[in-house]
Structure 1
Amino acid sequence: MTGSVIFDPLLPIWLIAVLAALVASGLALALWRGLAGWPFRALAGLVILAALMGPAYQQEERTALSDIVLIVEDQSASQDLTDRATRTAEAADTLTARLEARGNTEVRRVQVPDAPENGGTQAMTALAQAMAEEPLGRIAGVILLSDGRIHDVERAPDIPAPLHLLHTGREGDWDRRLRIDNAPAFAILGEEVQMTLTVTDEGAAPTGVMSVPLDISVDGAEPRRFEVPLGEEITLPLMLPHGGRNVLQFTTPAAPGELTDRNNTALVQINGVRDRLSVLLVSGQPHPGTRTWRNLLKSDSAVDLVHFTILRPPEKQDGVPVRELSLIAFPTRELFLEKVDDFDLIIFDRYRRRGILPNVYLENIRQYVENGGAVLFAAGPDFAGAESIYRGPFEAIIPARPTARVVEDGYLPKVTDLGERHPVTAGLDREFAGDWGRWLRQVEVTQTAGDVVMSGADDRPLLLLDRVGEGRVALLASDHAWLWGRGFEGGGPQLELLRRLAHWMMKEPELEEEALWAEATGQQMRVIRRSLTEDVGAVTITTPSGEVVERPLEEVSPGRFETLFDGPEIGLYRLENGDQSAVIGLGPAAPVEFERTIASAEVLQPEIDATNGGVWALEDGVPAIRAVREGRPAAGRGWIGITPRGAYETQSLRQMAIMPPWLVLLLVSGLILGGWLREGRR
């Protein structure tokens, strides 16, 4: 039980101060007048002022509360190196036993696992949450068992007691790490990518090492080895081999004695994109569809369009000199013989043979296709006639033969069953809401090769796609696709169809009809297989450690098969299904937990100094526990301190007035009477 004097003023303090000033003035006047009773008057004034302050004697019955010590155990991935996890657990058990043996002390143990999404060690966040659950007045100390590599130190709470770091490192620890300093997300095909990386040694590393080997692998292929200087920034000129996602793996072999090789490898995923696409549009007889092709190709700023058109055919004789029809001579030989391989796509739009382009030019284009080029034939009535472009060198590559018949009836284009599985035409009905409009003309053809992905009148082939050699060929057996663009009878998905068609012919990876890839979300991947067949079997997944797992693929939409797989580790995964293969990297390119693995108090030192705490290496054993007063140094040779808080809980409270009114009245009356009698005698 404790007692204390408290005050509960009956009047505002400023008013009591005014009254005190009046009392002092009266006493000064009494002294100046020489009144003998001034001491009695002074005592009476003091009694009145004291009574106005409302003094009371308060008695409390208290129950002492125990002090709380927080032990924060770092259980992140970097704590699994060597014997750090075991050392941390043993030290936490020892400290708990010693603290609980002190009496009047409670221990709260806080575990800090790896933060999600490569967040590292969020020890300060965990500490703040633990402190929020306890009264701050009872926290006597915080002991952090960690390697000191904290990634949220900016979230450190205000700690009312000493903070100590007992780090798990050893004096002889050292580690070699590979750091990617600059890695672009996109790169242009055919151009060098400048990447910078650094290989460094930290801690008690071996001396005399000037260079280390570096292995570079693209898409899981056989790596190439280079010798690079140690501790210097290296610039690597790389060229991506293909469009789409390229997975680059950089590895420096593990050295004997280093802490871990988890930071010796870095994965970088770069999307390869084309800088500019070169398209040659060869037009024959002018018609509204010509403007459709020009608008489509000119709307893309990444497309360089060369338009070759015949303004006056040879059979037209109007007497106008040629020099008045054109400003310059069209470089026909340069385009169709010397520079044809520079084009990514050639479009023949209602072109017919008139002797302007000799067979040697057309034969060169056929070879261009077989060597990897792409040609699209947009056919009109001329394709069915005697001057059809089909008759000649192109007969070997065009996937359908004209029957010489042209259907002039209206019909509704539709996607075939195979077309529902092909990426060029799959889901076109979802891209364009509403009913499609009719086309009014179609060239009748007989399929000889390729795939029919759209049909027209009486289910005749309308759009055919084929692979010839290393190249691609498409035949659109109608010149009325422009009706959709004009909104005839509601229009249709003309822009999306032509865009997909052009991109498929230019071998864009996302439009391959036979493809295997994966999309990563954290440590989970969604494996996607696209195929024109109805059964693709299971996908084989090879983990970074070499374990082989098979997962069945389920068809989620026509031609698209998927499965989910949770990767057990960070690294490069290889996928195989039939003749398709792919690679994907799971996890961050450089896990933050392994960026710095040498134990250090550098990050936490300001917080430790602010609380008079200390740093101790568990390699030297578990320090002793001492009690220190608040504000005093809380760490020394072989010991760390906690600050007893002396917290208590009040069980009962009793107050008793020191100056009750009757006593005040009696004292004041007696003192005033005494002063009057004293002055009366004189």
Structure 2
Amino acid sequence: MQQAFAGIDLSPIIPLWLLAALGVVAVLALAPAFWRRARGAPLRALVFALILLALANPRLVEETRETRPDIALVVVDRSDSARIGTRAAQVEAARTVLEDRLGRLPELEVRTVEVPEGGNQGTRLFGAMEQALAEIPRARLAGVIALTDGQVHDVPGASPIEAPFHALLPGRPGETDRRLRVIEAPGFGIVGRSVELRVAVDDLGVPNATGAARLTVRRDGAPPRIESVPVGREHRIEIPIERGGPTVVELAAEARPGEVSELNNRAVVTVTGVRDRLRVLLVSGEPHAGERTWRRLLKADPGVDLVHFTILRPPEKDDLTPLNELALIAFPVRELFQVKLREFDLVVFDRFANRGILPPAYLRNIADYVRGGGALLMSVGPEFAGPVSLAATPLGAVLPARPAAGGQSGAAEGAFRPMVTTLGARHPVTEGLTGANPDDQREATWGRWYRSIRADQRGGTAVMEAAGGAPLLVLDRVGEGRVALLLSDHIWLWSRGHDGGGPQAELLRRAAHWLMREPELEEEDLTARIEAGRLQVQRRSVETVPPPEVTVTAPDGSTRRAPLQPGPGGRATAELAADQPGVWQVSDGRRSAFVAAVSANPLEVADLRADPGRLAPILAATGGAARWLGAAAEPALPELRRVAPGRDAQGGGWIGLRRNGDHTVTGIAAMPLLPPWLALPLVLGVAVLAWRREGR
């Protein structure tokens, strides 16, 4: 809009300092006349004044201005906490009414910016506001009106603007909220022991909150247990770690009457179970070229405590050697196989023959140890097919294969390359081994062996085979325990690099860790994890049938079914959105997996009350106000007023936006008020009058 403004301006003909000096000279010259009260002193003063005024060159200046409208910035909070309950609807309704009212104010432009969900950084309201202000001249900014719940996590130390900043909050003052706070939770725990969680239940907005709250603790979907937690004080919870891998613990505090939301009443903690020092008992029997293979493998693992005994001479051999020279220490049969047997995580027999060293009662103890959850690995040679075979003892009841009967018994001599079976290509112990035969069953590229033991498989899974499809490595589950049977004593050839060598260390490591139930090597397993808001499900199985659908249970109890897509190595996967915080459960009908989806924004849910406390420093610095929209469907917006700079920007029932009056000058017209042609006659005329006055 075009407007005209007029005013008087001085454009001195001489420098200002010289004009000031002439003024001083004029005062000095007039002083004696006024002292003597001369009759023409006033006229003399008028002459000097006209001369100085002519030199100052006064002008009448007229400007044509184009005024520019002020800009009001509306900031709308779209974070998670601003969408709780009816807040989103209130904020949207208030935005519509506010933009309409602002649009009706004269000489005011309205701009709106939305604050997106900030993830783990919380609500970045002032960051979004600064981006919008970068395009607004500060001389035109009338003010900022923020529609927010007050949970802002980037409030600056000093106000970034000079215009008023106002906050309109959904709801009413005095809201309360109960939250469950995890003070400390270990990320790892030792299997067989317990870890301690430190938590607290806080009642926000309740002065001097006391009493107790019921806390529900659920571990891996097991039946929950209830504990009483004092409000506002730390509470400790013992969680037993019973297996390796992740243990998901879900904590839920009972709701408080009238609280804003139960979203932060729940917390999920994941503790990864790890084994302490693994204790392994290795008993070597008849000496052979690969005797130290197992010892080197187990000693190379810093997490293994190895107890190793080698039987160098059978007891029936008698050469009158003194007993104190037969061994460095006596073989502690009773202590190892009766008293402390269950303290070992794995028992390994390497070409051990039944020569009376272990009585049947102790061998039965080993079989019971396996059924009760122990692990047994046997690497056998020709002794397995003879009369001293352990298969003919009580230990044979837990072995997945027995020596072949009839004319097929004994050792098969001759070169062959071990092959991974069809099931072995899907089993984690042998899947993907370097040099293994590919899927088209062509011959493997690793080194050859020269002896295998003929055996009849009666259980378990043969993951490797010798010449003619004979079982070579058989894995089996017996009761709660596991057994691995290697029907050859030539694996040591791979460690020597014979005929190109092979992955001896990797194969034996996988077999040992599978026996000790490492979660990564489970052949029948269902796992789930959440990354970037996506639930990723993986089912692993040695079965060749199509994988079943899985049932996914969300934290709110809703269920849905998802098909699995087959992949290599016996894996089948599925992926779907995980849009709720809490514990997700996945089941294929036989196994279940649990995974924790933590809140995407823990800062945002730490306090769910609508509260202007965080914004108080900015409100005070800019003279703005915080107003509540009320609980009704129609928001109670305050009156909007325009105020001059320096005036109060808020009062009872109203908020103000600054009127800046910013403009652009489009034209200037100047007219001298005392041009030379007028100044000279005036000066001469007044001088003549002064002369005549004094001459009388």
Same structural fold, with TM-score higher than 0.5 when normalized by the shorter chain: yes
Find the counterpart in structure 2 of residue 132 from structure 1.
134
Find the counterpart in structure 1 of residue 640 from structure 2.
625
Query: What do residues 11-30 of structure 1 show as CA deviations (whole Å, max 9, x unaligned)?
Result: xxxxx99xx99xx9xx99xx
Find the counterpart in structure 1 of residue 454 from structure 2.
444
Query: What do residues 165-208 of structure 1 show as CA deviations (whole Å, max 9, x unaligned)?
Result: 22224234211111111111111112221111111111247x88
Please give the alpha-carbon distance, in whole angstroms, between the structure 1 residues aligned to 2:248 and 2:186.
12
Query: What do residues 101-146 of structure 1 show as CA deviations (whole Å, max 9, x unaligned)?
Result: 2211111122223234x44322222212222233333222111111
Aligned amino acid, residue 610 of structure 2: A
1:190-589 matched pairs, under 5 angstroms? 190-204=192-206, 210-317=211-318, 319-403=320-404, 404-429=409-434, 435-533=445-543, 534-588=545-599
Cα pair 1:266 1:589 within 8 Å, conserved: no
Q: 1:89 is matched with which residue: 74, 92, 96?
A: 92
Cα pair 1:246 1:269 within 8 Å, conserved: yes
Structure 1 window deviating more from structure 2 (215-224 vs 408-417): it is 408-417
Please give the alpha-carbon distance, in whole angstroms, between the structure 1 residues aligned to 2:471 and 2:671.
107
Please give the alpha-carbon distance, in whole angstroms, between the structure 1 residues aligned to 2:181 and 2:600.
9
Give percent identity, aligned residues only.
46
Find the counterpart in structure 2 of residue 53 from structure 1.
none
Structure 1 window deviating more from structure 2 (444-453 vs 481-490): it is 481-490
Q: Secondary structure at the match of 2:391?
A: coil
Please give the alpha-carbon distance, in whole angstroms, between the structure 1 residues aligned to 2:197 and 2:137.
52
Cα pair 2:346 2:515 within 8 Å, conserved: yes
Shift of 1:411: 1.7
Structure 1 window deviating more from structure 2 (557-566 vs 583-592): it is 583-592
Please give the alpha-carbon distance, in whole angstroms, between the structure 1 residues aligned to 2:524 and 2:98.
62
Shift of 1:73: 1.3
Find the counterpart in structure 1 of residue 36 from structure 2.
none
Q: 1:651 to 1:252 in 2, by over 3 A?
A: same
**Which sections of structure 2, spanning at least 5 residues, go unmatched?**
29-51, 439-443, 681-696
Q: Secondary structure at the match of 1:558?
A: helix
Shift of 1:162: 1.9
CA RMSD in angstroms comes to 3.9
Shift of 1:454: 0.8
Q: Secondary structure at the match of 1:362?
A: helix
* TM-score, L = length of structure 2: 0.82
Find the counterpart in structure 2 of residue 43 from structure 1.
none
Matched, 1:596 2:596: no
Q: 1:160 to 1:485 in 2, by over 3 A?
A: farther
Structure 1 window deviating more from structure 2 (548-557 vs 249-258): it is 249-258
Please give the alpha-carbon distance, in whole angstroms, between the structure 2 residues aligned to 1:548 and 1:463.
41
* TM-score, L = length of structure 1: 0.84
Please give the alpha-carbon distance, in whole angstroms, between the structure 1 residues aligned to 2:67 and 2:174.
47
Query: What do residues 253-294 of structure 1 show as CA deviations (whole Å, max 9, x unaligned)?
Result: 223322111111111111111112111111112334332212
Cα pair 1:412 1:436 within 8 Å, conserved: yes
Q: 1:629 to 1:410 in 2, by over 3 A?
A: farther
Q: Secondary structure at the match of 2:450?
A: coil
Cα pair 1:70 1:110 within 8 Å, conserved: yes
Between the two proteins, the alignment pairs up a number of residues equal to 636
Please give the alpha-carbon distance, in whole angstroms, between the structure 2 residues aligned to 1:155 and 1:308.
71
Q: 1:327 to 1:484 in 2, by over 3 A?
A: closer
Q: Secondary structure at the match of 1:394?
A: helix
Cα pair 2:71 2:109 within 8 Å, conserved: yes
Find the counterpart in structure 2 of residue 79 from structure 1.
82
Q: 1:67 to 1:442 in 2, by over 3 A?
A: same
Q: 2:105 is matched with which residue: 102, 106, 113?
A: 102
Matched, 1:114 2:94: no
Please give the alpha-carbon distance, in whole angstroms, between the structure 2 residues aligned to 1:654 and 1:381.
119
Q: 1:210 to 1:316 in 2, by over 3 A?
A: same
Query: What do residues 568-590 of structure 1 show as CA deviations (whole Å, max 9, x unaligned)?
Result: 42222222212111222224288
Aligned amino acid, residue 287 of structure 1: H
Please give the alpha-carbon distance, in whole angstroms, between the structure 2 residues aligned to 1:390 and 1:152.
72
**Which sections of structure 1, spanning at least 5 residues, go unmatched?**
8-15, 32-45, 51-55, 658-662, 668-682
Cα pair 1:541 1:549 within 8 Å, conserved: yes
Q: 1:571 to 1:324 in 2, by over 3 A?
A: same
Query: What do residues 465-485 of structure 1 show as CA deviations (whole Å, max 9, x unaligned)?
Result: 011111111111112222222
Aligned amino acid, residue 499 of structure 2: E
Q: 1:613 is matched with which residue: 599, 620, 624?
A: 624
Cα pair 1:199 1:230 within 8 Å, conserved: yes
Find the counterpart in structure 2 of residue 637 from structure 1.
652
Aligned amino acid, residue 179 of structure 1: R
Cα pair 2:643 2:659 within 8 Å, conserved: yes
Shift of 1:341: 0.8
Find the counterpart in structure 1 of residue 685 from structure 2.
none
Q: 1:401 to 1:145 in 2, by over 3 A?
A: same
Please give the alpha-carbon distance, in whole angstroms, between the structure 2 residues aligned to 1:652 and 1:432.
90
Shift of 1:347: 0.6
Cα pair 1:523 1:570 within 8 Å, conserved: no
Please give the alpha-carbon distance, in whole angstroms, between the structure 2 residues aligned to 1:326 and 1:6.
120
Cα pair 1:543 1:572 within 8 Å, conserved: yes
Please give the alpha-carbon distance, in whole angstroms, between the structure 2 residues aligned to 1:215 and 1:651.
73
Q: 1:67 is matched with which residue: 65, 70, 75?
A: 70
Matched, 1:180 2:191: no
Shift of 1:532: 1.7
Q: 1:167 is matched with which residue: 154, 166, 169?
A: 169
Q: Secondary structure at the match of 1:584?
A: strand
Structure 1 window deviating more from structure 2 (434-443 vs 572-581): it is 434-443
Q: Secondary structure at the match of 1:429?
A: coil
Please give the alpha-carbon distance, in whole angstroms, between the structure 2 residues aligned to 1:505 and 1:157.
64
Aligned amino acid, residue 348 of structure 1: F
Q: 1:580 to 1:121 in 2, by over 3 A?
A: same
